[in-house]
C-alpha cells in the first residue's frame, strides 16, 4: 500500500464511516436461509434478507435473499428490466432517492441493517463506492479535483493526505501513468475509458470496503473494457465488488460468484463456475445459452 493504513483508519473514524447501529430485529427473526447445498457458509460481507422494492405501485424486486462474500467479485446477470440495477442501488440506499421509490426488508452489512430507522443514508454512501454505467466525472473540475472531490467535500482538509490518496487511487484505477502530468486538465477531457477509470478512482478515494458497479463497461469499447476488467481482478483482493452486467462473458471472466435474476426474483446464485457450467435451474440454463435475454 502506498500510504499508511493508519491514515485510512483515521478517515474512517473521523468522518463517521463506521456504521454503529443496534442489530435489527429481523436478524433475530430471520428464517433459516434456503440456500443450495453447494453454497459456502463462510462469513458474509453483505446479506440481503427478504428485500422487496417498489416504484410507485409496481413491485420491482420480490423477496430477494442473497449473501455476498467479502474480498470477491460478484456479478449480477439477467435480462433487461429484471431489477439488477435496482438491487445494487438498494445496497447503498440510492434507490430511495428517486421519488416514488420504496424498499422493505433488511440489508445487513457487517451485521448491521442499513435500513434501520436511525441509520443516516449519507453515511452509508461514504462507505460504499458506486460506479455508474455512463462515466460521470464532475465537469467543472480537473482530474485531481475530481478524485479528491469526495474527500474535500466531506471535510478532509489535510492537503498532503489528499494528494497521497489521489495518487494512490489513480494508481489503483490504472490511470496514474496516463494522467500524472495532466492532473490539472478538465476531467471531461479524457476519453470514455479514461473517464470511467477516473470515476472508479474517485470512488476508491473514499476508501470504501464495498464497490458497486452498474454495467461499468457497457458504454466502452472492448480495449477500455478489458482494462477495467483487469482493474476488478486487482481490486477484488481488498474489496467486495458487486457488478451488474449484461455481458455474460464478462461475468464469467471477472466474477467469483454470479447471481442470476429474472423479473425481479433471484433465480439462482452460486460460484461462477457452477452457474455457467452446471446451472441448477432451467431458466438459468436457458439464459446462459442465449435462448432469451
Partner 1 sequence: MHKEIPRQNSNNNQKIQDIMSKRYYRRKLVDKLASTFAIACVLAAIIPLGSILLEVIKNGASAIGIQLLTQPPGAIGSGLEDSGGIAPAIQGTLIVVGLASAIGVPIGILTGIYLSEFASGAGLFSTAVRLFNDILTGLPSVVIGIVGYVTIVVAVGSFSVLAGAFSLSIIMIPIVVRITEETLNVVPNSIREAGYSLGISKWKITLFILLKSAKSGVLTGIVLAISRIAGETAPLIMTILGTSLFFSSFTTPIDALPLRIWRLASQPYDTAHSQGWGAALLLIVIVLISSLVLRLLVHRKGFRVEALHV
Give the nearer residue to partner 1 in terms of CB position, either 45 or 126. Answer: 126
Nearest CA to 67 out of 240, 250, 237 is that of: 240
Q: Does 202 bind partner 1 (CB under 8 A)?
A: yes
* 55 forms part of the interface with partner 1 (CB under 8 A): no
Q: Which of 66/206 has CB closer to partner 1?
A: 206
Q: What's the min distance (Å) between Cβ of 175 and partner 1?
A: 17
289 binds partner 1 (CB under 8 A): no
Could you give the string, one character per residue 79-118, with x where binding to partner 1 holds by CB under 8 A and - elsewhere? -------------x-x--x-x-------------------
Q: Which of residues 119-178 bind partner 1 (CB under 8 A)?
A: 122-127, 129-130, 132, 134, 136-141, 149-150, 153-154
**Angstrom distances, CA of residue 125 to CA of 147, 223, 229, 236, 291:** 16, 30, 24, 19, 37
Q: How many residues bind partner 1 (CB under 8 A)?
A: 30
The CA distance from 248 to 254, in Å, is: 10
DSSP structure class, residue 95: G
60 versus 130: smaller Cβ distance to partner 1: 130
- Please tell me the distance from the alpha carbon of residue 185 to that of residue 110, in angstroms, as a whole number: 39
For partner 1, the closer CB: 98 or 280: 98
Question: Phi and psi dihedrals of 116, rounded to 5?
Answer: -65, 150
**Cell reading at 33:** 436461509
Of 78 and 137, CB closest to partner 1: 137
Q: Which of 162, 206, 232, 242 touches partner 1 (CB under 8 A)?
A: 206
Least distance in Å: CB of 195 to partner 1?
11
94-133 in b/e form (b: 16+ CB < 10 A) is bbeeeeebebebbbbbbebbbbbeebeeebbbbbbbbbbb
Amino acid at each position: 500500500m502506498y500510504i499508511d493504513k493508519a491514515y485510512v483508519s483515521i478517515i474512517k473514524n473521523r468522518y463517521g464511516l463506521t456504521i454503529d447501529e443496534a442489530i435489527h430485529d429481523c436478524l433475530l427473526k430471520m428464517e433459516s436461509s434456503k440456500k443450495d447445498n453447494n453454497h459456502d457458509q463462510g462469513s458474509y460481507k453483505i446479506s440481503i434478507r427478504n428485500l422487496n422494492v417498489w416504484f410507485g405501485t409496481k413491485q420491482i424486486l420480490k423477496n430477494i435473499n442473497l449473501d455476498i462474500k467479502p474480498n470477491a467479485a460478484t456479478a449480477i446477470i439477467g435480462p433487461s428490466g429484471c431489477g439488477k440495477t435496482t438491487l445494487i442501488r438498494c445496497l447503498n440506499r440510492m434507490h430511495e432517492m428517486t421519488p416514488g421509490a420504496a424498499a422493505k426488508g433488511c440489508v445487513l452489512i457487517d451485521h448491521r441493517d442499513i435500513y434501520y430507522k436511525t441509520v443516516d443514508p449519507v453515511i452509508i454512501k461514504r462507505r460504499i463506492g458506486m460506479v455508474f454505467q455512463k462515466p460521470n466525472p464532475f465537469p467543472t473540475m480537473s482530474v485531481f479535483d475530481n478524485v479528491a472531490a469526495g474527500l474535500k467535500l466531506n471535510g478532509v482538509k489535510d492537503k498532503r493526505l489528499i494528494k497521497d490518496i489521489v495518487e494512490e487511487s489513480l494508481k489503483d484505477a490504472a490511470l496514474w501513468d496516463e494522467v500524472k502530468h495532466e492532473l490539472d486538465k478538465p476531467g471531461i477531457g479524457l476519453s470514455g475509458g479514461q473517464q470511467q477509470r477516473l470515476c472508479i478512482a474517485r470512488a476508491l478515494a473514499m476508501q470504501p470496503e464495498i464497490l458497486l458497479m452498474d454495467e461499468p463497461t457497457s458504454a466502452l469499447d472492448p480495449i477500455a473494457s478489458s482494462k477495467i476488467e483487469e482493474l476488478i481482478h486487482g481490486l477484488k483482493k481488498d474489496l467486495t465488488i458487486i457488478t451488474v452486467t449484461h455481458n455474460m462473458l464478462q461475468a464469467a471472466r471477472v466474477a467469483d460468484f454470479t447471481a442470476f435474476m429474472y423479473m425481479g426474483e433471484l433465480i439462482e446464485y452460486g460460484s461462477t463456475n457452477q452457474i455457467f457450467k452446471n446451472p441448477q435451474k432451467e431458466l438459468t440454463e436457458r439464459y446462459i445459452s442465449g435462448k432469451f435475454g
